[in-house]
């Protein structure tokens, strides 16, 4: 029998009301992980479940001390759950996956093999995705948007099945809806990112708890282009984004007002011309956007890293 090497892998699994799938998921995970030449831990983050999921996790913990269960006080969302999982995990390699049995634990060795080729983050690509049509369409829109805006040529940014080196998860601040942008954020920080095709299964129990059928995603995707730009290129220099936009409006308004001034000197009345009001409006908008950029710079410089540990109710 081969000797275990001094490297640990952490499996981080955020979940909300997934009682029906937990036992089967855990059995499959343990089977795969015990076959690897690595020590392991499985970190379950119960995101305020009210269906008895926490009771199942406690039972799993009793039978396997390599399981860690984190119970949150209420449902804070997937990004907050992942952020806490990243804080608490200890592995040199960190795998994230969903708890609904759609991600196949047998793909974990393939993810490990890919990241050992010199990458820092490997994202799963659900090439043959077993989801409803609405979710497929909304996800396609999201992936095209993010790829075009960030320049990272991945097919499936939104796949929760990923593997990271430890330094990646310890250096990315995840909050809001940022879990969907993790490859872009890692790339922006200089980490090497790629993807690998992974098997995807149809959902076995109930419906998705994190974004039912993707219907609520369409409104978010309308803002994604701006969100991606701000979170990658301008996260640390908001004055450049708002300043450039504001300067454009200011110069356009100033140009209109200069034109009307010349016209006024030629003896034409300009007091009731719509162009005058439009020019003044553009100047005001420009000044506001430039000021917003400066305020953003002050906030970025002074804001501390968001603390999420107070979300935790209990660690078992």
Spatial distance between the Cα atoms of 145 and 218, rounded to a whole number of angstroms? 12
Q: Are residues 158 and 89 in the same domain?
A: yes
Spatial distance between the Cα atoms of 299 and 303, rounded to a whole number of angstroms? 6
* In a domain? residue 311: no
For strand 67-72 and strand 312-315, is the pairing parallel, antiparallel, or unpaired? antiparallel
Report the pLDDT value the prediction gives residue 213, as an integer from 0 to 100.
46
Q: Are residues 97 and 181 in the same domain?
A: yes
Asked whether the beta carbons of 66 and 29 are under 8 A apart, the reply is: no
Pick the closest to residue 124 from 105, 137, 141 (CA basis): 105
Spatial distance between the Cα atoms of 77 and 90, rounded to a whole number of angstroms? 22
Report the pLDDT value the prediction gives residue 315, as an integer from 0 to 100.
72
Spatial distance between the Cα atoms of 19 and 257, rounded to a whole number of angstroms? 65
The total number of structural domains that make up the chain: 2
The CA–CA distances, whole Å, from 178 to 77, 130, 181, 310 equal: 11, 24, 5, 19
Spatial distance between the Cα atoms of 310 and 312, rounded to a whole number of angstroms? 5
Tokens of 214: 């993707």
Quick one: how far is CA 112 from the chain centroid?
21
Length of the chain: 316
Q: Are residues 95 and 191 in the same domain?
A: yes
* In a domain? residue 294: yes
Report the pLDDT value the prediction gives residue 15, as an integer from 0 to 100.
95
* In a domain? residue 1: no
* In a domain? residue 310: no
Spatial distance between the Cα atoms of 285 and 291, rounded to a whole number of angstroms? 10
Q: Return the CATH number at 161.
A: 3.90.550.10
Q: Are residues 176 and 259 in the same domain?
A: no
Residue with tokens 């990272």: 152
- Would you give per-residue pLDDT tens digits along the chain (316 residues)? 344 445 799 999 999 999 989 999 999 999 999 998 889 999 999 999 999 999 999 999 999 999 999 999 999 889 899 999 999 999 999 999 999 999 999 999 999 999 999 999 999 999 888 777 877 787 788 888 888 777 788 898 889 999 999 999 988 878 767 788 889 888 888 899 999 999 988 877 766 665 554 445 555 666 666 777 777 777 677 888 888 889 999 999 999 999 999 999 988 888 888 999 999 999 999 999 999 888 887 776 665 455 555 566 667 7
Q: Are residues 273 and 246 in the same domain?
A: yes
Domain that holds residue 260: 238-302
For strand 67-72 and strand 121-125, is the pairing parallel, antiparallel, or unpaired? unpaired
């Amino acid at each position: 029998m081969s000797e275990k090497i001094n490297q640990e892998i952490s499996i981080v699994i955020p979940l909300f009301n997934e009682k029906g799938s937990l036992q089967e998921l855990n059995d499959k995970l343990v089977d795969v992980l015990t076959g690897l030449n690595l020590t392991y831990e499985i970190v379950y983050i119960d995101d305020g479940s009210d269906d008895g999921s926490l009771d199942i996790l406690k039972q799993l913990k009793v039978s396997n001390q390599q399981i860690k269960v984190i119970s949150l006080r209420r449902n804070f969302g997937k990004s907050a759950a992942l952020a806490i999982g990243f804080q608490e995990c200890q592995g040199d390699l960190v795998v994230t996956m969903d708890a609904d049995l759609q991600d196949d634990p047998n793909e974990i060795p393939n993810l490990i093999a890919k990241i050992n080729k010199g990458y820092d983050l490997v994202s799963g690509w659900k090439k043959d995705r077993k989801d409803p049509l609405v979710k497929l369409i909304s996800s396609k829109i999201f992936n095209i948007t993010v790829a075009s805006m960030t320049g990272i040529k991945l097919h499936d940014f939104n796949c929760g099945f990923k593997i990271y080196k430890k330094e990646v998860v310890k250096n990315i601040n995840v909050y809001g809806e940022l879990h969907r942008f993790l490859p872009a954020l890692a790339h922006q920080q200089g980490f090497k990112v790629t993807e690998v095709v992974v098997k995807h299964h149809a959902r076995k129990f109930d419906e998705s708890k994190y974004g039912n059928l993707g219907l609520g995603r369409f409104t978010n995707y309308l803002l994604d282009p701006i969100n991606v730009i701000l979170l990658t290129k301008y996260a640390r220099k908001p004055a450049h984004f708002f300043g450039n936009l504001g300067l454009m409006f200011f110069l356009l308004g100033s140009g209109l007002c200069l034109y009307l001034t010349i016209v006024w000197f030629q003896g034409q009345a300009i007091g009731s011309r719509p162009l005058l009001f439009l020019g003044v409006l553009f100047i005001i908008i420009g000044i506001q956007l430039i000021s917003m950029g400066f305020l953003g710079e002050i906030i970025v410089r002074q804001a501390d890293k968001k603390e999420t540990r107070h979300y935790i109710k209990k660690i078992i």
